[in-house]
């Protein structure tokens, strides 16, 4: 399959061939409908380079490569979600689903993984991280923002509502980073937000299951997982990629995280000591008031 051939050959490819490989992997749906001349124009190489690239991968020419890309896209679109035969057990069903998901992860190429590393590097250097997403991805963005805060980074997730977006954009600075998440739909409003963030001089990133979405086209650095078979698979893959980024950031920021956790423990112990002292003083004060009011022991109060 063309993705495997690109993955196995990528390290030895020339810069021009790598541009073609990156486009085909990240914008597979686009590539499926482009002629050799149109692809050359999109990637800004000579049409003859497209033919030689296909031959270098082991194809007779670009037509054979293009046919395989079309078959790949068609298979992804028409793949049924229901099994041809019912599963014997629930465990067997989940095992099959897990196998399909693993296949999706195996489709990540060295290009994808390198780009994922670049995303993590940019986020780690950011003064402030803004994450924009809509639909089901908004909740995922909120969770990722909290995860980033847990490792000591400043992060805020927001919905691309026009009023909220305007307010958030007014607070963004050129040293900040905007990360857009996309799964379903054209994401037009998010594309506008990415465009305005770039105009402010910010780094703009995107993780999307569709390279045709507006934020994927507008972002300075985009990771496209176009091999997702469904919106649900795309959502799950994005969740996994965000978890990988968070785990990498934890490893890189471990010394500062351990220092912060140590300080938190000291403050927690001190707060507990102060609460205990307050409780002891409050119990004494309450006892005096109870005695003054003539309350019986059953009326007495105590600190929780």
To the nearest 10 degrees (0 to 180), the angle between helices 110-125 and 15-26 is 90
Q: Find the mean pLDDT for residues 74-98.
A: 68
CA–CA separation, 184 and 172 (whole Å): 26
Give the pLDDT band of residue 11 (cuts 50, 70, 90).
confident
pLDDT the model gives residue 259: 76
pLDDT the model gives residue 189: 93
Q: Find the mean pLDDT for residues 12-20.
A: 91
pTM for the model stands at 0.64
Long-range CB contact pairs, 251-257, < 8 A, 24+? 252/120, 252/124, 253/124, 253/151, 253/152, 253/153, 256/152, 257/151, 257/152
pLDDT the model gives residue 230: 61
pLDDT for 216-226, tens place per residue?
Answer: 889 999 998 86
The residues, ordered by sequence, that sit 6+ positions from 162 with a Cβ below 8 Å of its Cβ are: 189
pLDDT the model gives residue 81: 47
pLDDT for 50-79, tens place per residue?
Answer: 999 999 999 999 999 999 988 887 766 555
Average per-residue pLDDT for the chain: 84
pLDDT the model gives residue 80: 46
Number of neighbouring beta carbons within 10 Å of residue 285: 12
pLDDT at 270 over 80: yes
Length of the chain, in residues? 304
DSSP letters, the chain, are -HHHHHHHHGGG--HHHHHHHHHHHHTHHHHTT--HHHHHHHHTS-HHHHHHHHHHTT-SSHHHHHHHHHHHHHHHHH--SS-SS--SSHHHHHHHHHHHHHHHHHT--HHHHHHHHHHHHHHHH-SSEEEE--THHHHHHHHHHHHHHHTT--EEEE---HHHHHHHHHH--TT-EEEEEE-SS--HHHHHHHHHHHHTT-EEEEEES-TTSHHHHH-SEEEE-TT-SSHHHHHHHHHHHHHHHHHHHHHHTHHHHHHHHHHHHHHHHHHHHHHHHHHHHHHHHHHHHHHHHT--GGG-----
Nearest-CA neighbor of 172 among 151, 186, 158, 189? 158
pLDDT the model gives residue 149: 94
Between residues 74 and 80, the one the model is more confident about: 74
Give the pLDDT band of residue 295 (cuts 50, 70, 90).
low
pLDDT at 302 over 80: no
pLDDT for 104-129, tens place per residue?
Answer: 777 777 778 888 999 999 999 999 99
| 197-228: b (≥16 Cβ within 10 Å) or e | beeeebbbbbbbbbbebbbbbbbeebbbbbbb
């Amino acid at each position: 399959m063309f993705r495997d051939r690109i993955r196995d050959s990528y390290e030895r490819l020339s810069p021009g061939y790598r541009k073609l490989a990156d486009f085909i992997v990240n914008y597979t749906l686009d590539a499926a409908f482009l002629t050799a001349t149109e692809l050359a124009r999109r990637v800004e190489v000579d049409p003859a380079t497209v033919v030689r690239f296909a031959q270098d991968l082991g194809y007779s020419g670009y037509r054979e490569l293009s046919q395989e890309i079309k078959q790949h896209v068609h298979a992804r679109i028409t793949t049924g979600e229901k099994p041809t035969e019912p599963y014997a057990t629930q465990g067997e069903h989940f095992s099959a689903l897990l196998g399909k998901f693993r296949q999706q992860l195996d489709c990540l190429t060295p290009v994808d993984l390198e780009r994922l590393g670049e995303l993590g590097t940019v986020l780690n250097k950011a003064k402030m991280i803004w994450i924009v997403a809509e639909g089901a991805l908004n909740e995922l963005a909120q969770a990722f923002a909290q995860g980033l805060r847990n490792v000591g980074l400043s992060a805020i997730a927001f919905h691309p509502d026009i009023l909220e977006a305007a307010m958030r954009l007014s607070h963004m600075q050129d040293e900040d980073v905007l990360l857009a998440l996309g799964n379903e739909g054209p994401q037009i409003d998010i594309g506008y937000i990415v465009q305005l963030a770039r105009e402010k001089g910010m780094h703009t990133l995107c993780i999307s299951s569709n390279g045709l979405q507006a934020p994927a086209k507008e972002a300075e650095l985009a990771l496209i997982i176009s091999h997702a078979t469904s919106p649900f698979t795309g959502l799950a893959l994005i969740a996994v990629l965000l978890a990988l980024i968070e785990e990498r950031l934890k490893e890189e920021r471990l010394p500062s995280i351990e220092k912060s956790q140590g300080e938190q423990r000291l403050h927690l112990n001190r707060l507990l000591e102060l609460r205990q002292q307050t409780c002891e003083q409050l119990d004494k004060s309450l006892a005096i008031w109870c005695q003054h009011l003539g309350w019986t022991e059953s009326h007495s109060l105590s600190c929780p």
